[in-house]
């Protein structure tokens, strides 16, 4: 019985984590795209620290090599962080509209 309770709790927490994770992503990625691979699938960031925590969690072993601010034609702000691992690079877009212009986001 204790196993079932623990398993149920783990399953509940796992589902809650999945729900929280999808709330951090803009539009669901199209087939072949990943979260953060474009402005349309940008990861909703709540701070700069969040961006680096997201990279550490979702791209373990990858290291940030550059970060830049992008403002699109609709005046929406994005952080574009380029990461690297084993000679490969990847760009990750973060939607920073929730905190851009309100301080440093730390």
Give per-residue pLDDT as tens, 51-89.
999 999 999 999 999 999 999 999 999 999 999 999 999
Query: Is residue 26 one of the residues assigned to a domain?
Result: yes
- Look at residue 104 and tell me if it is in a domain: no
pLDDT of residue 29: 53
Q: Is residue 65 part of a domain?
A: yes
* Phi–psi pair at 85, nearest 5 degrees: -155, 125
Assigned domain for 76 exists? yes
pLDDT of res. 103: 65
Provide the number of structural domains found in the chain: 1
Question: Considering the domain boundaries, does residue 34 fall inside one?
Answer: yes
pLDDT above 50 for 14:
no
Closest of 38, 46, 49 to residue 80, by C-alpha: 38
Instruction: Tell me whether residue 105 is in a domain.
Output: no
Residue 38 predicted with pLDDT over 50: yes
Mean pLDDT in residue range 1-5? 46
| Per-residue pLDDT at 3 | 41
Is residue 103 in a domain?
A: no
**Cα–Cα distance, 75 to 60 (Å, whole number):** 32
Query: Is 106 part of a structural domain of the chain?
Result: no
Say if residues 60 and 52 touch (Cβ distance below 8 Å). no
Parallel, antiparallel or unpaired: strands 63-71 and 43-44 = unpaired
Domain enclosing residue 86, as ranges: 2-95
Per-chain mean pLDDT for the chain = 78
């Amino acid at each position: 019985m204790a196993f079932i309770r623990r398993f149920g709790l783990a399953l509940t927490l796992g589902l809650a984590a999945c729900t929280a994770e999808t709330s951090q992503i803009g539009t669901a990625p199209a087939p072949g795209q990943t979260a953060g691979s474009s402005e349309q699938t940008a990861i909703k960031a709540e701070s700069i620290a969040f961006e680096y925590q997201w990279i550490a969690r979702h791209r373990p072993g990858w290291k940030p090599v550059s970060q830049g601010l992008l403002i699109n034609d609709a005046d929406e702000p994005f952080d574009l962080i380029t990461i690297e691992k084993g000679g490969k690079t990847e760009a990750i877009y973060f939607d920073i509209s929730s905190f851009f212009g309100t301080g440093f986001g730390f």
